[in-house]
């Protein structure tokens, strides 16, 4: 994530542990994004906001040739290194508000940005940078908080674009910017991507015994929005 919004210190450690089994992370967002990824055999993948390495580990398990992870939190990168072991060489500590100057043009087949986009302020520049490092025909997967979920939780106008905070863990808070579906998709299309698929993820059946209440919640009201777009 960005230097300002990354999950630093104890907050990062709490998130790394929670993301392993959380209904929202492990059983809702992650399965949806991995399904959107499709067959990753032999692909070079960029994992932006890689967190504790859960996506990278699964992408490598599914046959990706190489996964490069980028995150603004050293706490999460430590967790990612522990998870990936000898496959963790390609992890970078970097603020996603800044250009990806350390990555070469056209060097990736697929980019993954899971629950990160709404934290970033310089989104237009980041989307342009991702387009630069993707090969022609390469895909970008993006998930974000569902605009309707934010409206239901924070209230006010659905069209509000204020920065909000959400309590997390023991005394921490997550900061991100609200946006409408129109804004979310408009930024992606405006950056030159072509929409291939849009999903509103619900928790998989495996989540039901883990947390029945949250499982049911994801099937009653929207939680996340995820898309697969392509660089022409």
The pLDDT value given to residue 4: 57
Structure tokens at 42: 């032999």
Q: Quick check: 19 pLDDT over 90?
A: no
The pLDDT value given to residue 227: 98
Q: Quick check: 5 pLDDT over 60?
A: no
- Residues 9-230: name the CATH superfamily: Vaccinia Virus protein VP39 (3.40.50.150)
pLDDT tens string 81-131: 999 998 877 999 999 999 999 999 999 999 999 999 999 999 999 999 999
Structure tokens at 128: 């342009």
> 162 falls in which pLDDT band (50, 70, 90)?
very high
What sign results for the dihedral spanned by CA atoms 98, 134, 1, 144?
positive
Average pLDDT rounded to a whole number, residues 69-79: 93
pTM: 0.94
Domain ranges in the chain?
9-230
The pLDDT value given to residue 177: 96
Q: What is the spatial distance between Cα 76 and Cα 200, in angstroms, rounded to a whole number? A: 26
The H-or-E segment that residue 141 falls in is: strand 134-145
């Amino acid at each position: 994530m960005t230097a300002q919004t990354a999950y630093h210190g104890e907050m990062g450690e709490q998130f790394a542990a929670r993301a392993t089994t959380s209904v929202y992370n492990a059983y809702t967002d992650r399965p949806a994004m991995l399904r959107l990824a499709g067959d990753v055999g032999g692909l070079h993948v960029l994992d932006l906001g890689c967190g504790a390495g859960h996506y990278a580990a699964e992408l490598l398990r599914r046959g990706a040739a190489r996964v490069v992870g980028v995150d603004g939190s050293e706490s999460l990168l430590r967790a990612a290194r522990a998870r990936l072991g000898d496959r963790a060489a390609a992890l970078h500590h970097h603020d996603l508000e800044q250009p990806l100057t350390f990555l070469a043009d056209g060097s990736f087949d697929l980019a993954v940005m899971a629950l990160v986009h709404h934290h970033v302020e310089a989104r237009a520049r980041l989307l342009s940078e991702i387009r630069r490092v993707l090969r022609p025909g390469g895909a970008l997967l993006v998930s974000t908080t569902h605009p309707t979920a934010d409206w239901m939780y924070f209230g006010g106008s659905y069209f509000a674009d204020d920065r909000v905070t959400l309590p997390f863990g023991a005394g921490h808070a997550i900061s991100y910017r609200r946006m409408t579906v129109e804004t979310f998709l408009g930024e992606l299309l405006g950056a030159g991507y072509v929409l291939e698929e849009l999903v509103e993820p619900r928790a998989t059946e495996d989540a039901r015994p883990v947390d029945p209440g949250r499982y049911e919640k994801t099937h009653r009201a929207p939680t996340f929005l995820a898309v697969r777009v392509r660089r022409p």
